[in-house]
């Protein structure tokens, strides 16, 4: 061992100690969270890790993701060489060649080629960050400096390793180094005559690596370590499920998220997995329309809070003492601007869940403090007394079906399907026409169905997402009791919010039913030939588009059925909106926002309506009462009522019967 070897060994040990110390600290912070990390359905998790993690599926949704793909894989290869280089600086002539020729040679090739790609990607990312400056990347000045430091470190590291390989070729095909060598030295290099240069490269390279090790866990680049585990640990439950709180547990002192340690371990892991790429922010309807909410900011604020409060929390971990997050970390307007559209979680490449954290904090505000927007309180009070958000008489819930020859389950429980009309389908004059259209379709197709009439209750979607789990649970239990009384097995819904709650949340209360949204049902009926609509859309419809409901599309992956319904009607030209399917843009009504005022920025429904107007269609098809209501308002706001009609797909089909 030379002096040089020893110095490297000492420095490496120091650097690794620093790294481990910090890593341990972060892991301890994550461990402050509640519950265990989810590890069920491993095969599924591994598959997701391969596709979303190693395959970078969600990163690649944007073109700029290609750069990240190369950096990710470049990093993978380069690390291999870096480790080899570090060890060989301590144990001379060490190499990984013992791993076998084809693999070792492939890794050398990978390092050489991906190194170049990484340099290219880094230059592009510098250009993007400092010249193009996408909004989603904006943040504190320190974050930009952080990015600059990391990019510089990687850049220097790559240049140095090329320098080393040019002077001292590695086995195998290394085209980039070979070309460089040819270009600079016109052939072979006598490594002895360039030993000083080689040593300098090696020292710089190693210094950079050691600095990188120390720096990385203090920067946003913790994602290098935590992103893959985060993808692996992402909850494997239906997307539309907000898990019920255990309100019966008498030992629980509070419900919902008050302090940072009320989050689960996975929630806290999220904070370190975040790269601040801002894809969530770019997709967030609240942010885009000028509200103070950004999912990225939610995560960053929580992370900053955890790092700040962490040391104190670790000392008092036994007492579970933590400062309230509201309103310093997450303020009122951030909290109540969320439409729970799920776009942020859909966009996140590494499986972070900002929306569910927001709902957790809402639960604490509502259940523990009774503190939430007054208009939302009115809606919940109405649901409490009359089981619908408008406070219309419970005893008129079934009135919409009068004279249509529809029986209630009380009159005839011996039917295949329950048609659950929902609050809007029962009370909103506009949406009653959709209920009637669905009923007409079912009757035409000879489906045996019934309704609950005045016995039907609100499913509790709004209550749940506003944060009143108590009310949501009461409604769920009461509805399930009614379903069971009539032996209900299959439920048809017209409202995606009812659909999601019945399908994904009721099983938690033992209510397992086959829940079918009317768009799926209509496609089935047409496919099976039980329904034969004329081959025409109404004459005044020439260009039609479909607006995806968040709760149908992103939440429950029902995106094809409504489109297919339209496609089945000849003479229709379906125009896609700019943002469609899983990237669709919210109407602004979800998460209880339907019952609140929208006072900051542009109204979300107006923003979406403008997109519809710009698409040049004369009809928007919807499959959700909230979307229909919000878009009708938005289009009215833009003064286009005369030109653009809003129709539910059921109405379009019913008209073609």
Partner 1 sequence: MKIVVLIKSVPDTASIFKVAEDNKFVVIGNPKFIMSPYDEYALEEAIKVKESVSGEVVVVSFGDENALEVMRTALAVGADSAILVENSDADSFTGKGVSKVLAAVIKTLSPNIIFAGKQAVDDDGCQVPERVAEILGISHASAVTRFELQGLTAEADREVEGGYCTMEITFPALCTVEKGINTPRYPTLPNIMKAKRKEIRKMTLEELNLSADDVRPGLTVNSISLPRQERLLKKLEGEIGAQVKQLTSILREEKIGL
Partner 2 sequence: MSILALIAQQGELKSSALEAVSVANQIAQKADMQLIAVYIGPPLADQLKRLEGFGIEKIVVFESEAVTYYQNDICVPILQKLVTEFDIKVIIGSATSIGKEVCASIAAKLDAELIQDCIEVDWDDGLQAKKPIFAGKIISDISFTNMPAIISVRPNILPVIRNREGAPEIIKREMPHVPHAKSIKNIVREAKSGVELTEAKVIVAGGRGIGGPENWPVLQELCDVMGAALGASRSAVDAGWIHHTHQIGQTGKVVSPDLYIACGISGAIQHQAGMRNSKVVVAINKDPGAEIFSSCDYGIVGDLFEVVPLLTKEMRKLLS
Q: Interface with partner 2 by CB under 8 A: which residues?
A: 375, 378-379, 389-392, 424, 427-431, 595-597, 599, 603, 606, 629, 632-633, 636-637
Which string of b and e fits 83-104 if b means at least 16 CB within 10 Å? ebbbebbbeeeeebeeeeeeeb
Cβ pair 500, 459 in contact under 8 A: no
Q: State which of positions 396-435 bind partner 1 (CB under 8 A).
A: 396
427's contact among partner 2, partner 1, none, with CB below 5 to 8 A by partner kind, is partner 2
Which range of residues in 42-50, 203-211, 361-369, 591-599 is near partner 1 by CB under 8 A?
A: 361-369
CB nearer partner 1, residue 238 or residue 393: 393
Cis amide bond preceding 327, omega within 30: yes
350's contact among partner 2, partner 1, none, with CB below 5 to 8 A by partner kind, is none
CB nearer partner 1, residue 156 or residue 410: 410
Nearest to 118, CA basis, from 161, 83, 68: 68
Terminal CA-CA length for the chain: 88
CB nearer partner 1, residue 366 or residue 401: 366
Q: Using DSSP, state whether 275 is helix, strand or coil.
A: coil
CB nearer partner 2, residue 562 or residue 625: 625
Q: Which helix (H) or strand (E) holds 419?
A: strand 417-420
Does the footprint of partner 1 cover residue 392 (CB under 8 A)? yes
CB nearer partner 2, residue 174 or residue 386: 386
Cβ pair 81, 158 in contact under 8 A: no
Cβ pair 122, 154 in contact under 8 A: yes
Q: Which of 391, 413, 507, 601 binds partner 1 (CB under 8 A)?
A: 391
428's contact among partner 2, partner 1, none, with CB below 5 to 8 A by partner kind, is partner 2
Instruction: Measure the CA–CA gap between 504 and 512, rounded to whole angstroms.
Output: 9
Sign of CA dihedral 24, 30, 33, 36: negative
CB of 301 to partner 2, least distance (A): 28
Does the footprint of partner 1 cover residue 393 (CB under 8 A)? yes
247's contact among partner 1, partner 2, none, with CB below 5 to 8 A by partner kind, is partner 1
CB nearer partner 1, residue 331 or residue 396: 396
Which range of residues in 230-238, 385-393, 432-440, 456-464 is near partner 1 by CB under 8 A?
A: 385-393
Angle between helices 265-273 and 295-315 (to 10 degrees): 120
Which range of residues in 154-162, 236-244, 260-268, 379-387 is near partner 1 by CB under 8 A?
A: 379-387
Alpha carbon dihedral 41, 42, 48, 54, in 10-degree steps, equals 170
Instruction: Measure the CA–CA gap between 538 and 375, rounded to whole angstroms.
Output: 39
CB nearer partner 2, residue 490 or residue 640: 640
366's contact among partner 1, partner 2, none, with CB below 5 to 8 A by partner kind, is partner 1
CB nearer partner 2, residue 157 or residue 603: 603
Which range of residues in 144-152, 177-185, 303-311, 386-394 is near partner 1 by CB under 8 A?
A: 386-394
| Contact residues for 209 (Cβ-Cβ < 8 A; gap 6+) | 82, 86, 157
242's contact among partner 2, partner 1, none, with CB below 5 to 8 A by partner kind, is none
Sign of CA dihedral 354, 358, 360, 361: positive
Does the footprint of partner 1 cover residue 35 (CB under 8 A)? no
Place of tokens 């999601």: 500
CB of 606 to partner 1, least distance (A): 29
Q: Which of 72, 198, 215, 255 binds partner 1 (CB under 8 A)?
A: 255
Sign of CA dihedral 498, 504, 505, 510: positive
Q: Which of 187, 370, 403, 529 binds partner 1 (CB under 8 A)?
A: 370
Structure tokens at 450: 């019934």
CB nearer partner 2, residue 325 or residue 376: 376
Does the footprint of partner 1 cover residue 372 (CB under 8 A)? yes
Place of tokens 């399907």: 417
Which range of residues in 157-165, 281-289, 393-401, 529-537 is near partner 1 by CB under 8 A?
A: 393-401
Q: State which of positions 436-455 bind partner 1 (CB under 8 A).
A: 454
CB of 336 to partner 2, least distance (A): 13
Place of tokens 């599309």: 553
Does the footprint of partner 1 cover residue 470 (CB under 8 A)? yes
Q: State which of positions 310-339 bind partner 1 (CB under 8 A).
A: none
Distances (CA, A) of 48 to 161, 228, 321, 394: 33, 10, 36, 46
Q: Which of 320, 369, 416, 597 binds partner 1 (CB under 8 A)?
A: 369
Place of tokens 């089981």: 387
504's contact among partner 2, partner 1, none, with CB below 5 to 8 A by partner kind, is none
3-state secondary structure 3-17: HHHHHHHHHHHHHHH
CB of 377 to partner 2, least distance (A): 11
CB nearer partner 1, residue 42 or residue 381: 381
Instruction: Measure the CA–CA gap between 642 and 143, rounded to whole angstroms.
Output: 49
CB nearer partner 1, residue 80 or residue 390: 390
DSSP secondary structure letters along 447-471: --EEB-GGG-----HHHHHHT-HHH
629's contact among partner 2, partner 1, none, with CB below 5 to 8 A by partner kind, is partner 2
596's contact among partner 2, partner 1, none, with CB below 5 to 8 A by partner kind, is partner 2
Place of tokens 């009359």: 386
Q: How many residues does the chain have?
A: 657
Q: Which helix (H) or strand (E) holds 647?
A: strand 645-648
CB nearer partner 2, residue 500 or residue 609: 609
CB nearer partner 2, residue 286 or residue 603: 603
CB nearer partner 2, residue 52 or residue 428: 428
Q: Which helix (H) or strand (E) holds 123?
A: helix 101-127
379's contact among partner 1, partner 2, none, with CB below 5 to 8 A by partner kind, is partner 2
Q: Total binding residues for partner 1 by CB under 8 A?
A: 24
Q: Using DSSP, state whether 474 is helix, strand or coil.
A: helix
Structure tokens at 655: 């008209």
290's contact among partner 1, partner 2, none, with CB below 5 to 8 A by partner kind, is none
CB nearer partner 1, residue 322 or residue 382: 382
* Residue 187 burial class via C-beta count within 10 angstroms: exposed 0-12, middle 13-18, buried 19 and up: exposed
Nearest to 409, CA basis, from 483, 356, 353: 483
Q: Which of 40, 249, 318, 374 binds partner 1 (CB under 8 A)?
A: 374
Angle between helices 625-637 and 604-614 (to 10 degrees): 80
22's contact among partner 2, partner 1, none, with CB below 5 to 8 A by partner kind, is none
Instruction: Measure the CA–CA gap between 305 and 311, rounded to whole angstroms.
Output: 11
Instruction: Name the residues that contact partner 1, by CB under 8 A.
Output: 247, 254-255, 366-372, 374, 377, 380-381, 385-386, 391-396, 454, 470
């Amino acid at each position: 061992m030379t002096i040089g070897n020893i110095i490297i060994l000492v420095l490496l040990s120091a650097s690794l100690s620093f790294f481990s110390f910090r890593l341990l600290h972060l892991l301890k912070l994550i461990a402050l969270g509640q519950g265990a990390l989810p590890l069920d359905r491993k095969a599924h998790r591994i598959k997701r890790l391969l596709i979303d993690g190693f395959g970078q599926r969600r990163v690649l949704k944007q073109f700029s993701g290609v750069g990240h793909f190369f950096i990710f894989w470049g990093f993978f290869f380069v690390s291999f060489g870096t480790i080899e280089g570090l060890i060989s600086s301590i144990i001379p002539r060490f190499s990984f060649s013992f791993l076998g020729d084809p693999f070792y040679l492939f890794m050398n090739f990978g390092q050489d080629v991906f190194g170049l790609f990484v340099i290219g990607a880094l230059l592009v990312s510098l250009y993007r960050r400092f010249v193009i400056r996408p909004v989603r990347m904006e943040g504190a000045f320190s974050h930009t400096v952080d990015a600059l430091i990391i990019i510089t470190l990687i850049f220097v590291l790559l240049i140095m390793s090329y320098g080393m390989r040019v002077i001292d070729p590695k086995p195998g095909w290394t085209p980039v180094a070979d070309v460089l060598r040819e270009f600079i030295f016109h052939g072979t290099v006598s490594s002895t005559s360039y030993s000083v240069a080689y040593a300098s490269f090696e020292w710089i390279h190693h210094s950079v690596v050691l600095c990188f090790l120390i720096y990385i866990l203090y920067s946003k680049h913790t994602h290098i370590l935590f992103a893959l585990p985060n993808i692996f640990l992402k909850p494997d439950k239906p997307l539309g499920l907000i898990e019920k709180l255990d309100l019966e547990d008498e030992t629980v002192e509070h419900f919902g998220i008050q302090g940072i340690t009320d989050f689960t371990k996975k929630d806290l892991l999220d904070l370190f997995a975040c790269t601040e790429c801002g894809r969530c922010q770019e997709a967030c309807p609240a942010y885009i329309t000028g509200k103070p909410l950004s999912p990225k900011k939610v995560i960053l604020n929580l992370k900053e809070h955890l790092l700040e409060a962490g040391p104190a929390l670790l000392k008092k971990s036994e007492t579970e003492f933590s400062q309230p997050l509201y309103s310093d970390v997450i303020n009122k307007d951030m909290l109540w601007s969320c439409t729970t559209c799920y776009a942020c979680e859909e966009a996140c490449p590494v499986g972070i869940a900002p929306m569910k954290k927001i709902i957790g904090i809402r639960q604490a505000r509502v259940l523990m403090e009774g503190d939430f927007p007054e208009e939302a309180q009115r809606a919940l009070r109405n649901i409490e007394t009359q089981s619908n958000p408008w406070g219309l008489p419970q005893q008129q819930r079934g009135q919409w079906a009068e004279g249509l020859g529809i029986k209630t389950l009380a009159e005839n429980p011996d039917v295949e399907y329950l048609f659950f009309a929902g609050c809007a389908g029962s009370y909103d004059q506009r949406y009653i026409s959709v209920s009637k259209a669905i009923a007409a379709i079912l009757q035409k197709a000879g489906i045996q169905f019934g309704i609950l009439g005045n016995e039907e209750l609100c499913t509790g979607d709004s209550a749940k997402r506003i944060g009143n789990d108590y009310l949501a649970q009461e409604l769920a239990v009461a509805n399930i009791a009614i379903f069971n009384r009539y032996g209900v097995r299959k439920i048809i819904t017209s409202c995606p919010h009812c659909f999601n709650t019945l399908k994904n949340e009721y099983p938690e209360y033992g209510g397992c039913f086959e829940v079918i949204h009317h768009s799926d049902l209509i496609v089935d009926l047409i496919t099976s030939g039980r329904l034969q609509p004329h081959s025409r859309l109404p004459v005044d419809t020439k260009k039609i588009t479909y607006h995806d409901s968040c709760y149908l599309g992103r939440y429950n992956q029902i995106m094809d059925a409504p489109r297919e319904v339209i496609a089945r009607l000849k003479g229709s030209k379906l125009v896609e909106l700019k943002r469609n399917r899983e990237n669709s843009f919210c109407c602004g009504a979800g998460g209880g926002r339907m019952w609140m005022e929208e006072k900051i920025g542009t109204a979300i429904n107006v923003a979406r309506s403008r997109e519809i107007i710009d698409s040049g269609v004369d009809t928007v098809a919807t499959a959700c009462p909230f979307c229909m209501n919000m878009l009708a308002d938005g289009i009215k706001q833009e003064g286009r009522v005369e030109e653009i009609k809003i129709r539910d797909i059921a109405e379009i089909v019913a008209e073609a019967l």
